Amino acid sequence: MSTQVLTTTLFLAVVALTIGITFWASRQTSGAADYYAGGRNFSGFQNGLAIGGDYMSAASFLGISGAIALSGYDGFLYSIGFLVAWLVALLLVAEVLRNSGRYTMADQLAYRMKQRPVRTAAATSTVVVSIFYLLAQMVGAGALVSLLLGIDGQFATNVTIFAVGILMVFYVTVGGMKGTTWVQIVKAVLLMAGSALIVILVLAQFSFNLSDLLGTAASNSGKGSAFLEPGLKYGVSTTSKIDFLSLGLALVLGTAGLPHILIRFYTTPTSRDARKSVLWAIGLIGVFYLFTLVLGFGAAALLNGDDMERVTASGGNLASPLLAETVGGGAGSTGGAVLLAVIAAVAFATILAVVAGLTLTSSVSVAHDLYNSVWRKGQATEKEELKVARIAAGGIGLVAIILAIPAQKLNIAFLVALAFAIAASANLPAIVYNMFWRRFNTRGAVWSIYGGLISSVGLVIFSPIMSGKTDAATGANLSLLPASIDISWFPLENPGIVSIPLGFLLGYLGSVTSKEPAAEDRYTELEVRALTGAGAEASVQH
């Protein structure tokens, strides 16, 4: 069997497995509670695996290891930020959100406020954050499948992105939350097992001496000891230092505002299970991010010059797959082909699971918050709502496909960081204020969500990401827009240091300037629900 046939067969086997899970789950899905929240019958351990599967995205597996391979210590800062963020999620939102909501983030916000403006704002933010996150997964899929199937050229990559979009819409429309959750559980197990295998093989090359691994990586990188020290990427100038602080804020605070993570807390039967699921997820994710340290530095230490050029050209996204091929015996060897196929197939399963979760979250918000609660004023039937959710999934998938094609030159860990910045700016202020500030009201919620959303997206548009960024050595254009266009008046690539405080400030100003009387009874009821879980499955509409 040729190596190409082998890789293609394993790749198709993973796709077939996930499709089979989706069809099985579709037969277990009978209503909105099943479609939106998986029937609320996943245990803490199962939901912890699913959260890990949702969170350990292509950005984690491909983007962070690539960032470490190219930038050393500074690349590993992504791993630290993603992991520490879970403490914020655990302490601030996991239990209270599960206890006080029903299906979406907007349920919790709208409980003591005017339905239409708050749900519209929350749904808009959910869709925008999800699409940014989706871009990262689609870009990773394009790079990965092109490598896996041995296809070259922009057209082939674009076809791959389109195929992933079709698959993710299928998962959501057919399997709902049950199918998506089981795909994420299976994917989490495969990802941990595959990563552990490569980590062991990499460490075996250095007799399990981490110091030798780091020393070889520093030597092969051409940057010497600077590769293992802070400052290679973010310490070049004052601007880059501020940019790193902005990135750190977004990573640490963003998880607690990510819609596709928040919706996972609604799938557990009790608040105790919600807490347990986060603890399981922290353990799983913590081990995985230690793996990325070995994967990234292993790629820097073991990949040859040609492979590192391919890693650099992909924005770092091919570091882990090429490392798997190298430790398996190298290009052309059976062992290398097997490991490349396994790791690429696992990474593809990772992408499929995450995009399904993101698409589901967005489509549920459109159907439950916009269609039923805003447009139909709560009068839509469950059947109508589910139909709209499935249609919305198709529309969101199409938008993600269109936007992912021009974004292929960006590192996917960076794309996810932008989604984190938007989530931390638009969603987190409203959630925190709503749970812990009695005076918070409708205007405050709307101002904080739209203010954080517009400022974070707007600053990205006028940042070096969109225009004006060039490679210092080659002069190549590194921005999304053509080199002839330069609208980059905002110097930072990460907007969080401005947009996150602005979201909190606007939430405060909106509340104190509004004449809307504080709904004291509603706040007290919400507080009781958040602490006890009483009425968690009751409708929050009023």
Position 148 confidence tier, pLDDT thresholds 50, 70, 90? low
pLDDT tens, residue by residue, 258-283 = 887 777 776 677 767 777 887 888 88
CB neighbour list of residue 237: distance below 8 Å, 6 or more residues apart: none
- CA 86 – CA 252 distance, rounded (Å): 8
For 82-118, the pLDDT digits (tens) are 788 877 777 777 777 767 656 677 777 877 888 889 9
Q: Residue range 49-75: average pLDDT?
A: 82
240 has a pLDDT exceeding 50: yes
Residue 540 has a pLDDT of 41
pLDDT at 153 exceeding the cut of 70: no
Spatial CB neighbours of 369, under 8 Å, sequence gap ≥ 6: 104, 106, 119, 120, 122, 123, 126
- The amino acid sitting at 211 is S
Question: Checking phi first, is residue 144 left (phi over 0); if not, alpha (psi -120 to 50) or beta?
Answer: alpha
135: tokens are 């871009």
- In DSSP notation, 459-492 reads HHHTSTTTSS-B-TTT--B-SSS-TT-----S--
Residue 93: what residue type? V
Per-residue model confidence as pLDDT tens digits over 214-237: 999 999 888 888 898 888 777 778
Q: Answer yes or no: is pLDDT of 539 > 60.
A: no
* Mean pLDDT of the region 39-58: 77
Mean pLDDT of 10-23: 81
Per-residue pLDDT tens over the stretch 168-216:
778 777 777 777 788 888 888 888 998 999 999 999 999 999 999 999 9
pLDDT at 294: 93
- pLDDT at 281 (0 to 100): 84
pLDDT of residue 117: 92
Cβ-Cβ contacts under 8 Å for 440 (sequence gap 6 or more): 433, 434, 507, 511
Averaged confidence pLDDT in the chain:
81
Residue 102: its pLDDT value, please? 60
Check residues 318 and 489 and name the one with the higher pLDDT.
489
Q: pLDDT at residue 430 above 50?
A: yes
What are the φ/ψ torsions at residue 298 (nearest 5 degrees)? Answer: -65, -40
Q: What is the pLDDT of residue 276?
A: 82
CA-based angle 138:139:141, to the nearest 5? Answer: 65
